[in-house]
Amino acid sequence: MESTGHRTIRHPRPPGVDTLRYTARSGLDAVPDPRHRTMVAGVLASGLVDEMIALTATFDPPVNLAQARADADVLTTEFAAFGVAIPAATTDNITLMRALMVPIADDALALALDRIWVFTTNTDDVCCHDPAEAEAILRSGMLPEPRSSSPNARYIRHMFNEVTRFCDPTFLAVFKTFFYNAITGVLMEAEFTPEASDEVDSDFVRVFNGFSQFWFTSLQFTDPCLSARHNRAFWSAALSSCVAFLNDINDVLSFYKEAVHGEDFLASRIYRRSVSENIPYLAAYGRSLDSGLAAYRRVLDLATDEQRPHLDRYMTAFAYWHFHCRRYRWHDIYPGLTLIDI
């Protein structure tokens, strides 16, 4: 990163874990449903979240926050020009996420990835609550339609065009496929019913709609040792565990934010597993956590010595970002957590 000429900034480490321990007085009033509140309280009281915070407590790599801030400003202007409505908080949070997880020295490539990460995150947020928009995006990408399609469709073409010069055509085709697979998963998730009374397979849908293949393979841009073109055997072997890690760890670190939302909690895989298998929510939560940590270990086991530091940073930063980013509201529960912003 030093080669860009930007000042490299280290974000502050969180305070000692002892100051972060959950107390029953913190944050639960924001959860509107009393049943969900009880489930959240049970997980927090178990100490599992405390342990995950401890696992990320020493994470302290250099992070180019100046680059992320500049990219967020560029994207805010660009979204407005395309007529795409994306909250400023989403733009800030996701450019920070990319800077933490996928450090990029090349400013143009960093912007191209930030553009994709921010837009795709917002698309997921929108389409999860608006299946008609998911349908429109799928049609515009997979069927011949006039160029004068929706702002979202136009922007999707733009974001992929902008990353084209940084990857080979085969990877770009796969990258696009992962994106549209995820939109298909969003449509399947729309068929979920409250209280998990449907017969839709949550695990199958989660693999589709988590965007996880799309997110994890972005790491191929960081270093030649992870190039999708030259390391296809690694990605073929590791991708299932990569997807499991992102899906499971996102589920276990999103549950408080989802409980505050309410509707998102009902659609979550942990809640649906608890209901469909008639097991305590804490037991379902523990299964997802164990699966995510097992996937983390398997990814690192499959990696070469050269690849391992990049993969470890990516996965550790993913958990760290959840805890220290405003989007997931963990500061409500653990006021001692340091919030990081760009």
The string of pLDDT tens digits covering residues 246-291 is 999 999 999 999 999 998 899 899 999 999 999 999 999 999 999 9
| Spatial contact of 265 and 271, defined as CB atoms under 8 Å apart | yes
pLDDT exceeds cutoff 90 at 342: no
Q: Which two tokens stand for residue 199?
A: 């017969």
Stretch 146-160: mean pLDDT: 84
- Which two structure tokens, joined as six digits, stand for 286? 């523990």
Tokens matching residue 317: 């930063």
214 pLDDT above the threshold of 60? yes
pLDDT interval class at 211 (50, 70, 90): confident
Predicted confidence band of residue 18 (pLDDT cuts 50, 70, 90): very low
pLDDT tens track for 68-89: 999 999 999 999 999 999 999 9
Amino acid code (one letter) for 17: V
**How far is 120 from 175, CA to CA, in rounded Å?**
12
How does residue 140 score in pLDDT terms, banded at 50, 70 and 90?
confident
Give, for 181, the enclosing helix (H) or strand (E). Answer: helix 169-189
Of the pLDDT bands very low, low, confident and very high (cuts 50, 70, 90), residue 5 is very low
Mean pLDDT of the chain: 87
Mean pLDDT, residues 42-52 taken together: 95
- What are the angstrom distances between the C-alpha of 9 and each of 62, 110, 128, 300, 304? 6, 16, 35, 27, 28
Longest alpha-carbon distance in the chain: 58
Does position 14 have pLDDT exceeding 70, yes or no? Answer: no
pLDDT at 236: 95
Which residue, among 69, 104, 101, 103, has the nearest Cα to 88 in the 3D structure?
69
Least confident of 53-57, 89-93, 138-142, 167-171: 138-142
Residue 209 has pLDDT above 70, yes or no: no
**CA-to-CA distance for 161 and 26, rounded, in angstroms?**
46
In which band, very low, low, confident or very high, does the pLDDT at 2 lie, cut at 50, 70 and 90? very low
